[in-house]
A = this chain, B = another copy of it.
Amino acid sequence: MRKYVYKIIEPAKSHKDASHYFDLFIIILICLNVLAIILESEEDFRSVYADYFLRFEIFSVIIFSIEYLLRVWTCVENKKFRGAFIGRLKFISSPMALIDLLAIIPFFLPFIGVDLRFLRVLRLFRVFRILKMARYSKAFDLIKDVLKEKKEELFITAGLTAIILVIISTLMYYVEREAQPEHFSSITKALWWGIVTLTTVGYGDVFPITPIGKLMGGIITLMSIGIIALPSGIIASGYTEQIIKRKKSKDG
């Protein structure tokens, strides 16, 4: 019995069996949830269909809760989570199970007396229900593999970005703070300029205006983008490598 349920709720390997239709049902429910969150944010919809949104939310949470409980119950069928207690604890603390829990918990918190203000923040987590998709999408598998394979390079890139960000923001803070106290009154504020510039987004809300600031900003930008933007090539090649690997293991 438990084995049968386990097979159904796990992502299907073949088409047109119970497991496949269960997957499809969950995927559609996730998509509808995302749609509901987006539509609910529209003032016009919220006021008119508030009732429907609430009912759909209750329905979704019930389904997701059942799904979660079934997953916790049947997880011991998986070799990785053997052991009635320890196996289940392992499963519960796995990333996918945490996402499943995150998808339902905000709904149950008011019943155990959580502050309403804190709850409004928690409602924000409903959007992470989209991450439940990770179980069914190859895109997430790909990212996971790239993150694993290129972990070292990613750490280097992240570290490098952080260091460059701190240096250029500090320099810009010293140079521009007197001319633009509203934008460069502290290094943390200057960091916003640093991020917007290094990612080449360039909103245009903050930029150096003093000649020395422009000179430094120009040189810094040219150099930093060269140093930072390029390790991105590493990750890009990571994606390509992974995809080639998969094709090979599929073909042969």
A residues at B contact (CB < 8 Å): 34, 37-38, 41-43, 121, 124, 127-128, 130-131, 133, 137-139, 142-143, 152-153, 156-157, 159-161, 163, 166-167, 170-171, 173-174, 185-188, 191-192, 195-197, 199-205, 207, 214, 218, 221-222, 225-227, 229-237, 239-240, 243
Contacts and interface: CB of A to CB of B under 8 A. Distances in A.
B41 A186 contact: yes
Contacts of A218: 191-192, 195-196
9 contacts: A38-B166, A38-B188, A43-B185, A127-B166, A139-B157, A143-B160, A199-B222, A201-B221, A226-B235
A145 to B, nearest CB: 12
Nearest to A163: B130
Nearest to A197: B201
Interface of A is mostly: helix
Contacts of A161: 222
Contacts of A174: 121, 124
Given A156-B142, A186-B41, A240-B237, A207 B205 contact: yes
A182 to B, nearest CB: 12
B214 A192 contact: yes
Contact of A187 (B38, B163, B214): B38
Contacts of A202: 196, 200-204
A142 to B, nearest CB: 6
Contacts of A159: 137, 139
Given A197-B201, A204-B205, A222-B195, A173 B41 contact: yes
A74 to B, nearest CB: 27
Contacts of A160: 139, 143
